[in-house]
Amino acid sequence: MNIHKKVCNSRFVFLLFVLFSLWENDLQAQERDSVATPSRASRRFFVLKTQPFQPLIRKYSISGELRLKNHKSLQLQAAYWDWGLSIELSSLRLNLISGTIEANEFEGDLYFRNVGFQAEWRSYLIEETPLEGLYFAPALNLGFTQARFEVTDPDPFSLGTEGTGNRNFTAIGGNLSVGYQLIINRLAFDAFLGIGAFYNSLHQVEITYSDGRREQVDTSIPRILPFPRIGLSMGIAF
């Protein structure tokens, strides 16, 4: 009986030894695989994104973020914007009754089309995996704009004469943003908030009326126009 128990105990110990050896070999194999084959997240190098809510304001963009060294990345963006708004206009006119030059203020409509490009340099402050985490990003902007003004002469003697003005210009600006990018199974979510400004030449335009008259008009748009930057991009990580 004792001999039988000893044999059983020996078999049980031998079985435990075999199972332990197999488990240890499996762990060593996993470690070798992890060293030889880095995880997908560690091999991530590029994110292709767009902003899904921008079409609500008739703007469309696509951007690509390229991983660099030392928790840095470079994001390039191309955008198209087709928009319109009402603005305040003013001009100087001769008052025929008093014989003086007076300021004449009225409203007009501005429609513009813009093709813009942005280069953004990102520094990830907290980055557990590449291209993911809290970041700080300065950026430069370059835009090519076609602007069209449409006005109605406010002079009661003009009988509502229509006028238009066109201006093509290049806008140059920059912005600063902070954001957080989260990547889940290659699906990227990039939320950001910032402020910027750009230089433009929409402060003045020449209006040509349908009766042939021309008038130099000042607009309410400053030469340096600040703008907020807020949004959410979504995309795919590679």
- Number of Cβ within 10 Å of residue 116's Cβ equals 19
Task: Kindly report, residue by residue over 37-47, the tens digit of the pLDDT.
Answer: 456 667 889 99
CATH fit for domain 42-237, picks 1.20.5, 2.40.160, 1.10.10, 3.30.530: 2.40.160
- Exposed/middle/buried for residue 50 (C-beta within 10 Å: 0-12, 13-18, 19+): middle
Domain ranges of the chain: 1-37, 42-237
Residues of the chain falling short of pLDDT 70: 1-41, 94-99, 156-157
> The whole model's pTM is what?
0.77
Mean pLDDT of the chain: 84
What confidence score (pLDDT) does residue 32 get? 55
Q: What is the pLDDT of residue 22?
A: 44
Measure the CA–CA gap between 178 and 180, rounded to whole angstroms: 7
**Among 108, 53, 112, 109, CA closest to 83:** 112
